[in-house]
Amino acid sequence: MHARVFVTLAAVLMGAPALAASAAPSLSQTFKRVGGAVVVVRTTERVLAGQRSNTHEVRARGLGSGVLISTDGKVLTAAHVVQTADAVAVEFPGDTLIKASIVASDPAADVALLQLERVPAGVQPATLGDSDKAEVGDEIFIVGAPLGISHTLTVGHVSARRRPNATFGSMETTELFQTDAAINEGNSGGPMFNLAGEVIGVVSRIVSRSGGSEGLGFVVTSNMARRSLFAEPTVWSGLEGYLLTDEMARVFNVPVAHAGLLVQRVAHGSPAERLGLRGGDLPAVIAGEEMIVGGDIVLAVDGVALGEQDAYESIRKRMIEIRDHNGPLHLTLLRSGVIVELSGSVEP
């Protein structure tokens, strides 16, 4: 009798660690572990206001989300949240506000990297996971600041994987997850987590008729972010533009042999401002497209015409070379109907 009790007790004790190890943490436990790395991204920038006959610049505050991914203060967010920001700060739980600078931004992939002045004591960065391991149907959760309500968690699934050249608009070269998790204004730049608490994506945009979440959210994959910002580093230009091609290029009288980048906004203190580029001063709707007109139209960068094949990649590489060696950058642009040449350094 005692032998049987001993054997049974031993089996229970030996099996207990295996049972404990196999129990996955709950969603609430995972959120508590990673939630401290999620931040609210607050920006200030100049925007146009007023009517067409009386347009003027005003300072506006922007809002997005982001996630701390390194102990030295690197924060991952969406490029469209910070691309033309004059100033950036991030807010950690507990209302701790810390200034940040933009160190890299890839508008084509809609990802950007911030550098914090410091990291609050006790905050642990989130782990950047391998998005290739995620499958359609996997449960995920998103943490961000929808409508400014910070540290809101929403749950959903990976609804689809959209490979490069299979998406839409200016992000045709970007790998995206589609998700049914609720995403609203303010979520942009926030992390998508798998159930292990790894960041597998960065919230980019939604498709919505109402303006709110309708279950069609798009998230840049973590591996796309890794390639854009680390494996093949880029720089922040501080410029928001609209690529004019074909019919739109003819509307703006861009030379027929070129495409052109219409400069819409330029961030204060950015490389684009130091080069002397000018943004637009008049909101307009042309062929159903909202844009800001009246600014410079960039035709070529260091001799690379905007209409050339792989122009974006060639210009990106040239910008990195200039950043690393502090050389001059040469621009050819159309300004008020006249071809103008600009040259200068992009470094402060």
SS3 305: strand
Residue of 70 and 12 predicted with greater confidence: 70
Q: How far apart are CA 28 and CA 72, in angstroms?
A: 27
- DSSP states along 193-207: EETTSEEEEEEEEE-
Same domain, 194 and 146: yes
Partner residues linked to 301 by β-bridges: 304, 331
Does the pLDDT at position 12 exceed 50?
Answer: no
Q: Which of 231, 249, 268 is the last residue of a domain?
A: 231
Same domain, 133 and 224: yes
Q: What is the pLDDT of residue 65?
A: 97
Cβ atoms of residues 157 and 180 within 8 Å: yes
The continuous run of DSSP H or E covering 272 comes out as helix 271-274
Q: What is the pTM of this model?
A: 0.84
Identify whether 28 is part of a domain. Answer: no
Domain count for the chain: 3
Q: How far apart are CA 294 and CA 336, in angstroms?
A: 8
| Segment 254-279, tens digit of pLDDT | 986 778 999 999 999 899 999 999 99
| Segment 285-315, tens digit of pLDDT | 988 888 999 999 999 998 888 888 778 778 8
Identify whether 14 is part of a domain. Answer: no
Same domain, 88 and 145: no
Confidence category of residue 81, pLDDT binned at 50, 70, 90: very high
**Rounded-to-10 torsion of CA 159, 164, 169, 171:** 90
| Segment 28-41, tens digit of pLDDT | 999 999 999 999 99
Identify whether 154 is part of a domain. Answer: yes
Cα dist from 138 to 27, 141, 161, whole Å: 14, 10, 11
Which CATH number fits the domain that encloses residue 89? Answer: 2.40.10.10
Same domain, 98 and 144: no
Same domain, 164 and 217: yes
Q: Which residues are catalytic?
A: 80, 110, 188
Identify whether 43 is part of a domain. Answer: yes
Token couple for 26: 């709950």
Same domain, 89 and 146: no
Same domain, 208 and 254: no
**Percent of the chain residues past pLDDT 90, beyond the cut:** 57
Confidence category of residue 56, pLDDT binned at 50, 70, 90: low
Does the pLDDT at position 9 exceed 80?
Answer: no
Q: How far apart are CA 68 and CA 38, in angstroms?
A: 6
Same domain, 221 and 244: no
| Mean pLDDT, range 150-173, rounded to an integer | 75
Same domain, 243 and 322: yes
Identify whether 22 is part of a domain. Answer: no
Identify whether 75 is part of a domain. Answer: yes
Q: How far apart are CA 111 and CA 131, in angstroms?
A: 15
Identify whether 210 is part of a domain. Answer: yes
Same domain, 248 and 315: yes
Identify whether 4 is part of a domain. Answer: no
Same domain, 278 and 253: yes
| Backbone conformation region of residue 279, classed left if phi is above 0, alpha if psi is from -120 to 50, else beta | beta
Burial 303-313 (b: 16+ CB within 10 A, else e): ebbbbeeebbe
Q: How far apart are CA 113 and CA 301, in angstroms?
A: 24
Q: How far apart are CA 93 and CA 321, in angstroms?
A: 38
Cβ atoms of residues 295 and 252 within 8 Å: no
Does the pLDDT at position 14 exceed 90?
Answer: no
For the chain, the average pLDDT equals: 86
Residues in the chain: 348
Which CATH number fits the domain that encloses residue 270? Answer: 2.30.42.10
Q: Which of 231, 249, 264 is the last residue of a domain?
A: 231
Partner residues linked to 193 by β-bridges: 141, 199
Does the pLDDT at position 51 exceed 80?
Answer: no
| Segment 171-212, tens digit of pLDDT | 456 899 999 999 999 999 999 999 999 999 999 988 766 666
SS3 64: strand
Does the pLDDT at position 49 exceed 70?
Answer: no
Note down the domain range covering 195.
127-231
Same domain, 74 and 142: no
Q: Which of 203, 231, 259 is the last residue of a domain?
A: 231
Burial class from Cβ neighbours inside 10 Å (0-12, 13-18, 19+) for residue 342 reads middle
